[in-house]
Each structure stands twice: as C-alpha cells, then as structure tokens.
Amino acid sequence: MVAPLKVGLAGLGTVGAAVIRLIRDNQAALAARCGRPVEVVAVSARSKAKDRGVDLKSLRWIDDPVALARDPGIDVFVELMGGEGDPAKAAIEAALGARKSVVTANKALLARHGAVLSALAEQNQVALNFEAAVGGAIPIVKTLREGLAGNSVTRVYGILNGTCNYILTRMEQEGMSFEECLKDAQRLGYAEADPTFDIEGFDTAQKLAILASIAFGTKVDSDAVYVEGISSIASADLDAAEELGYRIKLLGVAVKTETGIEQRVHPTMVPKDSAIAQVMGVTNAVTVDAEGFPPVTLVGPGAGGAATASAVVADIGDIARGTRVAPFGRPSAQLATAGRAPMQMHEGGYYIRLMAVDKPGTAATIATRLAEQQISLESIVQRHRGPEGGKDARAVSGPVPVILVTYATTEDAVRRALAAVKRDKVITGEPQLIRIEKNR
C-alpha cells in the first residue's frame, strides 16, 4: 500500500477548518484521484481551546507554526495564517528549507516575496502551490501556468474582489448609495469593519500582481500596480453607464504593451454584452486574452471557506500525485524584471463626469481644452437640474452635470485637459474619471 501524504496545517480559521472537513469527507475519492491517501496529521493555531466546529482530537497540536513546518512527521505544510510577514513567511521558509512542499492561500506574502520563495522551492526541489491565493475556487493559476503553457497571453483582467462587486451590484440594481451598500456588506460579513483594503483596491492589486507574473513570465511586482478604489462611484455614474451600454466593475487589468507590462486596478466601464459584465454579487471572474483564440473567462466563488478550501485541497492533491511545476510558470531565474508601463501612457476610452458652471462659454471652454490635447468625443450629455422655466431658472440652478465619453486617448492627455479645465474655473469639485475597457 502507498503511504499516505501527511499534511501539517497552520491556521484554523474558516478556511483551515474547511480544509480538514473536506479532506475527511472525501478521503476515498481523494485517494483514488491522487493515487495515495491524504491525511491531516498535525495543526497549529493561536488558540487550542477555540471551538472551530471540527474534531481535532486525533491531530497533533504544535504551538509554533515554524516548528510544525519543520516537523519530520509531515510531508506537506499548508499555510493559512495570512500576512506578508512572520510567522507565515518564516514558517514557509522553514518548510521549504526542510524540503517539504508548501500550499498557501497567502496573496499578500506572494505579492511581496513570491520570487524569493519560488527560488527557494526550486532549490530544494519541492512544490510551492497557491491556487487559493487568487480567485478562490476559480482555477486561474493552473489555467495560466499549465493550461495555457503553449500560448502567448496578451491581457489578463478580472473581478478579483467579491466585496467590491457586491457593493457595485447592489448600487446598480437597487439604487442604493455607496455608503448604504458598504454598511450592508459589513452586516452580512462580506466587508471587514475596516474595509479599506478591499474597497480601495489593494486586495485586487496583490492578486493581479501574482497573475501578471504567471501570465507574462515576470517577477512579482506589486509596487508596479496603479490602484484606485470604488469609494468615489456615485449612483449618477451607474445610471450613465446603463444609458451608454456599460456596467461598472472594479477590475484588475494586466496587459502587455510596447512600453512594458501595464498593471492597473480601478473602476472600469465594461460593455454590458461582455462575459465579465454579467458577473454579479460576490462572484469573481477572470478573462484571459491569448493569441490564437477568443478570450477565455472563468467564473466562480472568489472567497469563503468552502471555495478557498477546494483550491487548497486541489493543490495538495497535485503534490500527492507527484506533480511539481515552477510556481510562477517558469524557473525563477528566468523570470524577467518587467518594464513598467507608466499609467500616463495608458490608452483607451474614458468616461468623464463634470459639474459644469452653468454660464455662457462653459461648454466651449471645455471643448477647447479637450481639443488642445487632441481628445475626440464619442458622446456628450448635459443634464440641467433645478427649477424649470422662468427667467431666473438658470441663475438658481447651480452646476450642471456634464458627461463626456472619449474615443481612445491617453491618460496623460485626459489629465492635462482636466487640469486646464479646473484652472479655467468652469467646473466645481473634482471630475469623475472612469476608464473604459472594451472587448478585443
């Protein structure tokens, strides 16, 4: 009989407990699919007394996760503690140094230290698997790293944060404000008490950096990602998107350009007939553009105990089968230092919402400033508000919302034009700027 693969697991939160249950509930099927049994034999967590809804009596308890990582009684170390530093980093380094394969869901650690850990895994001829770090149950890491190994990827983009997608969905479908949707998401457990990491795009940025590395054969560089969140999105923007045939999503986009790899996270208008526009609620989705065939879109639950545990156990299963591939798709020594494509060079269409001063010459001034930067308009919509009729209506109406949609232009040109418009004092407040990502 083939000896079982013995797993040591550090971190017994929602995901950790779900991993133990999944392995126990599917022991026979897992052994049949992997060619050997898989057993969790030892665990580590902050509190031994906490009730996690799973029986731990048969498992060895080791207080120090680093000691668990080195334990001679385990074959695989599963890290589910989180955080880009210690103890997660120290424990993973200890496991790899002890020639034990590692499975982790730790996007923050990989986004910051992925290249170093990859090299350490290769040096010790063990696996470093992290499907659960990006997209939950969506097998996007395996798809990019193995399924598309023979294809040249030109763009990868997606909805990588369920909290933001939930908020934007509720805002669109129910006409709620951002603040109302955020409070509801917190009540339901979709958003943290401090939601900054999610709603300002940083969670998506870490995941995007990992995908970009695999897609383009570059070192993980989370500092290269341009980041904007969704807190500035208003109901007026969602209404305008609907009229224009778009839907607003927080996207992470990595694309190969002539000037380097462009990595960006920001609210984006996507055509309503695109696959990614149909993804609503807490669901995630990733689209891959590769040469030779139409875009491929993967959709599924991006978070939660069951979804993340599914990806973790799939990674353990690969190790049980004896499958080992370079963590980021190619040997770490061959990962290039990507040239960063500056955001100012980004080219595409733009949605711009201005609060224009309602006086003669305002529209002409705005048009002149856009023309100076060679920006062509696809459409322009002006919406008067305030009292209608009467000779004093214009005087009391206040600023007028003006919506512009540009043809393809550069970020730099748009920023220059809007700066000039502000100097002319024909608008109030800050312009709203949303990029448009069209199908290719």
Q: Is the Cβ–Cβ distance between 267 and 164 less than 8 Å?
A: no
With H, G, I as helix, E, B as strand and everything else as coil, classify residue 105: coil
Token pair of 340 as six digits: 């960063």
Q: Is the Cβ–Cβ distance between 233 and 171 less than 8 Å?
A: yes
- Cis amide bond preceding 72, omega within 30: no
Which residues touch 289 (CB under 8 Å, ≥6 apart)?
153, 154, 155, 156, 295, 440
Characterize the bridge pairing of strands 377-382 and 400-406. antiparallel
Query: Rounded to an integer, what distance in angstroms lies between the CA atom of residue 408 and that of residue 416?
Result: 15
Active site residue 107: no
Residue with tokens 């491929």: 296
With H, G, I as helix, E, B as strand and everything else as coil, classify residue 135: coil
Q: Is the Cβ–Cβ distance between 37 and 45 less than 8 Å?
A: no
Selected catalytic residue, list 100, 107, 207, 249 = 207
Q: Is 383 exposed, middle or buried (0-12, 13-18, 19+ CB in 10 A)?
A: exposed
With H, G, I as helix, E, B as strand and everything else as coil, classify residue 136: coil
Query: Rounded to an integer, what distance in angstroms lies between the CA atom of residue 324 and that of residue 141?
Result: 14
Q: Is the Cβ–Cβ distance between 111 and 283 less than 8 Å?
A: no
Residue with tokens 């512009």: 404
Catalytic residue ranges: 207
